[in-house]
Structures are given as C-alpha cells and as structure tokens.
Structure 1
Amino acid sequence: MRILKNLEIEESIASKKLMFEESWWEKFDTFTNYFMFLALIVPSILALGSVKSSANSDLEYLLCGSGLFFGLYGFYCKFTEKDLKEIKFNIHKEDAKQRILEYGNKNNYRVSKISNNLIFLNEPTSGYTLGNYEKTIMIFFKNESILYTLIKESARLNVPVLFSQHIIRIDLKKILKKTNKQTKNINKRNGFSSFFLKD
C-alpha cells in the first residue's frame, strides 16, 4: 500500500482533499508524472498542427488526437488524485460502513485500516508491475456521505488511476443506494405508526 505519512483524517474530510506530510519522493514523483504527460501533450499538439490534408490525414488526426486526449486526461487525473470525490447516501452511516466492508470482502480487497471515519480497500496491481504493489480505495465517512479517492503505488512512478475510478464510483453509488425493500419496510412502519398515533 502506498504510504501517506501523517495522514490527517479530520482535516482531509473538512477540506475534501488528502492532507498528509509529503516526502521529497512524493513531490518528485508528482513532478515526474506531470512531465511524462506533458511530454505526450506537447508533441501531439505540434503533430496536429503539422498534419496536411491527404488520404491518410484522418488516421493521423486520430492518432495525434488520441495522444493529446490521453496526455490531458492523465495530467488531469494526477492533478486531482488527492481530491476526495463525494457520494451522498440516505441510509445510516454504520449501514454504509457495513455495506462497503461486504463489498470489499466480496471483491477480495484487503482491508488494511478501519477507524471511525476511514476504510482502506487494497487491491494488488502485481499483474502490471514487478513486486507486491497495490491500488488503494480510501473511503472517508461523513454523516450522510462518503468521500473517496483512488491512489496507486508502483516500482518507480505512482501513476494515477485512470479508468477503474469510474467503475468504482458506479459500484459505490450502487451499494449505498437504499433498496426498494428497505423503502417498503420504512413505509410499512410509518403507516403502522400513523394508524395508532392518529388524533
């Protein structure tokens, strides 16, 4: 798991941004990632400007445009990596925690830390890099919502999580949604109570 030194839980929740003590390696890693994506963005822009109309120009536009899009998207993902995205829910906070823990167990995540307001779900990324490295879903709890982000560790560069973050968002929204069965039970209880509490 990627180590975030002196992670401030309450401050992170309040600011909706990971608050921790960055080491010189973290700063260098961030700079290197930015440089890597800029090295893809700048040549793509220059190549787009030099494409001339021909039989192959559509393919050239597609290749250069794809490179530009990937570079911009990767830069954006690294830039917003520490931002905590919010998902609101209308169930009890403890129920939300239990559902997320069940989700983690069902999908074979390693739960590495549980506190009152924080859960880490870790997934091995050893299939992509040498060594035992992990991608971590960090989930902070508020009263009626969660704040989360995905971070990744690797051998040399902690590149941002590019695409699986969208799948995780869909999954988290789905498991935190109140089910129809729960709604019916609540309505039944309310109806039962109102029958006996009529004036």
Structure 2
Amino acid sequence: MRTLRNLDINKSIESRKLIFEEDWFDKFDNFTNYLIFIALITSSVLCLKEINPLSSNDRVGYYLFSLVIVFCLYGFYCKFSEKHLKEIRFYIHREEAKQKILEYGKKYNCRISKISDNFVILNEPINDFSFGNQEKTILVFFKNDTILYTVIKEGIRLNAPVLFSQHFTRRDLKKILQKNDSQQFH
C-alpha cells in the first residue's frame, strides 16, 4: 500500500480529495510521472509534424503517434485526478453497504488494512509486468448515503496512475451497492 501518512478522513470527505502529508518521494513521483507524459507527448507531436498523413507510407506512424498522444493525455489526467474522490450513491443501509464492500474485497483477494466507521481500505495485488509486489489500493469513504472512493497504485520505483481498472472498480462498486443479496456475486 502506498504510504498515506496522516490521512485526514474527515477533511478528505469534506473536500472530496485525499488529504494527507506528502513526503518528498510522493512529490518526486508526481513530478516524474508528469515529466514522462509531457516528454512522450512532446516527442510524438514533433514526430507528427514530420509525417504526411495523406501518404500511405506514413499513415501507420500518424495513427501510432496520435494514439500515443491520446494515451499520454489520458494518463496525465488519471495521475492528476487520482487524489480526487469519486462518488457513488446507494439506497441501502450504510452497514449493509460496508459489508458488501468488504465481501467484494474478500472475493478479489484484497488485503483489508483498515476498517472504521466511515473508511475502508482494500489492497489488491497487481499481477502486471513489473518486479516485486505491487498493490492497487481502493480507498472507500462513507458519507451519508454515498461512498467516496479513489483507486491508487504503488510501485517499487514509480507510482504510475491507475488507467483502466478504476473504471472496472466503479462498475463493480455500483453493481454491488445497487443489487439485493440474492443477485450479488453471481
């Protein structure tokens, strides 16, 4: 799990953004991620200037560099917004919602590292192409009849943004918070 030193749960809920003390490594990590995305975007734009999109020989390169730019812009946005909490409404009792989220964590072999009245942390192992043990952390805050959540990733050298699994997590959380017990997890 990424270190979220002195995470202020109440202020995070109020501001809808993770409020914690960032150390120098967190700041350096953010800077490095932004620098990588900006460098890839800049080099792709420079390459696109040299390519004639109407030429059949250059068409593949044109599409490839265009995709790199779109992907990097999306990655930049994901890194920029990873501390912002997304909201999902639910229409069941709060304790039932918490229980369903804990069951979801158990189903996906998450290590549940914190449970409090209005906060749950689920740590899911990531099996990507990297070395060492990495985890995707789902932080869930409870506020009245909504959950506020975000998904962050930790790595050995670089905490890259969570690109696509955040959308799957949102879909799963919406599904488990809206259905009856008889329909859940089938």
TM-score using structure 2 length: 0.93
Which structure 2 residues correspond to residues 39-188 of structure 1 after superposition, within 5 A?
Answer: 39-52=39-52, 53-125=54-126, 127-179=128-180
Contact 1:91–1:178 under 8 Å retained in 2:
no
Structure 1 alignment gaps of length 5 or more: 183-199
1:96 alignment partner AA:
A
How far has the Cα of 1:32 moved from its partner? 0.4
Cα distance in 2 for residues equivalent to 1:12 and 1:38: 29
Cα distance in 1 for residues equivalent to 2:124 and 2:179: 26
Contact 1:40–1:67 under 8 Å retained in 2:
yes
Contact 2:108–2:124 under 8 Å retained in 1:
no
Structure with max Cα Rg: 1
1:77 alignment partner AA:
C
Cα distance in 1 for residues equivalent to 2:127 and 2:5: 23
* C-alpha distance 177-36 of structure 1, shift in aligned 2 (>3 A): same
Report SS of the residue matched to 2:162. Answer: coil
How far has the Cα of 1:130 moved from its partner? 2.1
Count of aligned pairs between the two proteins: 182
> Identity over aligned residues, as a percent?
59
Q: Kindly provide the CA deviation profile for residues 99-135 of structure 1, in whole angstroms up to 9, marking residues without a partner as x.
A: 1011111111111110111111111125432222211
TM-score using structure 1 length: 0.87
Who is 1:7 aligned against? 7
Cα distance in 1 for residues equivalent to 2:61 and 2:50: 10
Greater Cα offset, 167-176 or 123-132: 123-132
Q: Kindly provide the CA deviation profile for residues 26-62 of structure 1, in whole angstroms up to 9, marking residues without a partner as x.
A: 1111000000111111111122222113112321221
Structure 2 alignment gaps of length 5 or more: none
- Please provide the CA RMSD for this pair: 1.6
